Structure 1
Amino acid sequence: MMSSRSKFVLSLAFSGAFTILLVGCRHHAAATPAPQAMPVKVESVSNSPVSSSDTYVSTIKGRRSATLQPQVEGNLTRILVKSGDIVRAGQVLMQIDPLKQAAAVQSQQGTQAQKKALYDYNRIELDRQKKLYEAGVVSRDAFDQATQAYENSKADYEANSALTETQKQQLGYFQIRAPFSGVVGDVPVHIGDYVSSSTVLTTVDENVDLEAYIYVPTERAAQVRTGLPVEILDSDGNSLIKTKINFLSPQVYNGLQSILAKAPIPAGTKGLRTEQLVKARVTWNTNPAPVVPVLAVTRIGGQPFVFVAAPKDGKYTAHQVPVKLGEPVGNTYPVIEGLKPNDKVIVSGLQFLQDGVPVQPMG
């Protein structure tokens, strides 16, 4: 059985040990410094003009574009151009075998010469019969017969002359000429091919007076109107030119359930050709909205986030906030959800940040 003195000594020993342990813990706690705030650059969220827009696939077309098809039938004997050639108005592009038609023209010209000779003879004869009739040498009946022969030969000659001219014009159709100056498109035919009025020989396009054909879905029928801004973009999203809608079709295209809108391409624009596919960004309206720099946005699993310097007890900590963004405008994203004006968005050192770490905002 432990005496009172032993209990007292043991109590003092426990008290001393506890005191030493407490002092050691305090010393250890004092030796571990609090984490320092990381200096970061921040930008306050502010409202800026943000455009509401949609991007559609558009086709560039020229106001002067011709598909060449023959007006006569026959075999191609000459092809004088190739794809990409620049041609002038009236230049001969192809030749269809004209031998049959040339023979028909020559035969018709021979017939015309015969009728011309008869016409000239009857005209002279009429003049002679008229003088004899006036002198009382021949009867009225003889004069009337001469008049009738002259009128018949005249009508016959004039009809034949018109037929000859038609045959000559028909001969001209055996040469395929450029309707205007431009660039030759694809040439799908070959020398020796038999062609008819349904055969496509080639195209000629003039790369001026270009237009962007934009097919706007009918859901936007209430918003689309002439005068809306349009930005033409290349395949990489780079802006080529800015224009405006100047035409709306009065009808809906059933196959696409869309409305055709046209926007003119300014003269002298480079890098655009007829039938080229581009992107057309149609801006519906512009309203103030919060924006954040592109550099402030990180993505995790496709979800965009930003870090906000959140104040707490006079200090700041990094707080990761999920956001919903609109289409980028220049170097900024419009914020649809997640932020409010004057939030301090962190734009530097994002790779070193974690949710809840202390930060020191810098302007």
Structure 2
Amino acid sequence: MTLFRTGLSRGLVAGLMVFSSLTPAFAEGGAAAAEVRPVLWVEAKAEHAGLLNFAGTVEPRIKTDLAFRTLGRVTARNVQVGDVVKQGAVLMEIDPLALQLAVRSAQADLNSAQAQLENARITEKRKETLAASNSVSQADLELAQQGLISAQASVDKSQSSLDKAREQLGYALLKADFDGAITSTLGNVGQTVASGQTMLTLARLDQRDAVVDVPEALLPAVRATPEINVELQLDPHVTARGILREVAPEADATTRTHRLKIAIDTAPAAFRLGSVVTVRFSTDDGLEVIMLPTSALLHRDGKDFVWRIDPDGKQVHLTAVKTDPKFANSSHMRILSGVSRGDKIVAAGVDELQDGQNIRLGQERRT
């Protein structure tokens, strides 16, 4: 019995010693496991300046909505969408009967006023002759002179009314204000239209723009590009040089892109309105471009760093990079050196990591 107790005691002591020796190891392993951080990451993808290629359309720089300047019923429409017209060409007509009657009425009023003027002129001359021989008073002469002035004013008023009526008669014809192409039609024969109601849209052909939508992150690179080439998608060999003319100050509420208008006034005639084009923005060096989200950058002592993830995805290392200052206020930064194609970079939480820290790859960020 004593021997059994002695053996049991010795076994218990040995077990306690083994447990106590293993406990620090378990604690150390748990602490090490606690240091592993999941990270959001992004893969550095290098692309050529072709990254700055956008599909767009050719649109007119100037287009005007044409409308009749008087009420009437449409009697003729001489154009269709796509027709090319010359300045002064009659595009649509409305019934001119009411306007013609107004011209006749104004002409009759003018004839009556001219007759009254002639009568007043004769009366004034007669009064002037009689006044010379003291046959009429000076008051009668002045009254005749005033009547002549009044009759002349009536003639002038009637003449203005006739000119106005003739001008309004011209409103029955809707003419092209300049050479261009019809891009839309909104009226048909038999339709009664109001004054100012849009009937046609006329676009100039000599001033054209290539219109594209560009993400906000690429605006700095687009603004700084030294050369813009525009080519037809149907025939890439047909190209034109463009000039950045306008950048929309606000992003589209839905797509969050900015609309750019590139002037292509010297483009060949093949760049018709509505043609689909590819706009290519060439970078200043023509080299490959690596873009990383700004959240991946760590700023220390006036320098920029990123956390590069080991190929096995278990540790991170602090890596110095050179960035393009043109992208200082952008959501993405262009990396000039320090990062290569295919590198995995921590995309968020860069202030909470240490060099050599164990990590676990989390979700990949899509740029």
Deviations 1:310-345 (A, max 9, x none): xxxxxxxxxxxxxxxxxxxxxxxxx96269xxxxxx
Match of 2:80 in 1: 82
Match of 2:280 in 1: 281
Q: Structure 2: 5+ residue runs without aligned partners?
A: 1-46, 290-338, 344-367
Give 2:67's match in structure 1, choosing from 54, 61, 69.
Answer: 69
Are positions 1:337 and 2:344 aligned together? Answer: no
Structure 2 counterpart of 1:269, one-letter code: P
Partner Cα separation in structure 1 for residue 78 and residue 287 of structure 2? 60
Partner Cα separation in structure 2 for residue 105 and residue 223 of structure 1? 63
> Identity over aligned residues, as a percent?
22
Q: 1:50·1:289 contact (CA, 8 Å) conserved in 2?
A: yes
Match of 1:196 in 2: 194
Higher helix share: 2
Partner Cα separation in structure 1 for residue 248 and residue 78 of structure 2? 42
Q: 2:225·2:284 contact (CA, 8 Å) conserved in 1?
A: no
Partner Cα separation in structure 1 for residue 274 and residue 145 of structure 2? 65
Q: Which moved more, 1:133-142 or 1:67-76?
A: 133-142
Partner Cα separation in structure 2 for residue 209 and residue 78 of structure 1? 29
Q: How many residues align?
A: 247
Structure 2 counterpart of 1:58, one-letter code: G
Go from structure 1 to structure 2 and tell me whether the alpha carbon gap of 1:289 and 1:107 turns closer, same or farther (over 3 Å shift): closer
Q: 1:52·1:286 contact (CA, 8 Å) conserved in 2?
A: no
Structure 2 counterpart of 1:130, one-letter code: E
Give 2:232's match in structure 1, choosing from 231, 234, 243.
Answer: 234
TM-score relative to the length of structure 2: 0.58
Q: 1:245·1:261 contact (CA, 8 Å) conserved in 2?
A: no
Are positions 1:211 and 2:241 aligned together? Answer: no
Go from structure 1 to structure 2 and tell me whether the alpha carbon gap of 1:220 and 1:130 turns closer, same or farther (over 3 Å shift): farther
Match of 2:299 in 1: none
State the SS of the aligned residue for 2:59. Answer: strand
Structure 2 matches for 1:27-46, cutoff 5 A?
Answer: none
The Cα RMSD (Å) is: 3.2
Go from structure 1 to structure 2 and tell me whether the alpha carbon gap of 1:130 and 1:220 turns closer, same or farther (over 3 Å shift): farther
Go from structure 1 to structure 2 and tell me whether the alpha carbon gap of 1:226 and 1:209 turns closer, same or farther (over 3 Å shift): farther
Q: 2:91·2:176 contact (CA, 8 Å) conserved in 1?
A: yes
Q: Structure 1: 5+ residue runs without aligned partners?
A: 1-48, 291-334, 340-363
State the SS of the aligned residue for 2:211. Answer: strand
Partner Cα separation in structure 1 for residue 66 and residue 286 of structure 2? 49
Q: Which has the larger radius of gyration?
A: 1
Structure 2 matches for 1:171-190, cutoff 5 A?
Answer: 171-190=169-188
Give 1:124's match in structure 2, choosing from 122, 125, 131.
Answer: 122
Match of 1:145 in 2: 143
Go from structure 1 to structure 2 and tell me whether the alpha carbon gap of 1:128 and 1:232 turns closer, same or farther (over 3 Å shift): same
Partner Cα separation in structure 1 for residue 99 and residue 116 of structure 2? 26
Go from structure 1 to structure 2 and tell me whether the alpha carbon gap of 1:213 and 1:125 turns closer, same or farther (over 3 Å shift): farther
Partner Cα separation in structure 1 for residue 49 and residue 214 of structure 2? 18
Go from structure 1 to structure 2 and tell me whether the alpha carbon gap of 1:242 and 1:84 turns closer, same or farther (over 3 Å shift): closer
Q: 2:179·2:205 contact (CA, 8 Å) conserved in 1?
A: no
Structure 2 matches for 1:299-338, cutoff 5 A?
Answer: 337=341
Partner Cα separation in structure 2 for residue 237 and residue 93 of structure 1? 33
Structure 2 counterpart of 1:193, one-letter code: Q
Partner Cα separation in structure 1 for residue 141 and residue 80 of structure 2? 65
Cα offset, 1:54, TM superposition? 1.9
Cα offset, 1:237, TM superposition? 8.5
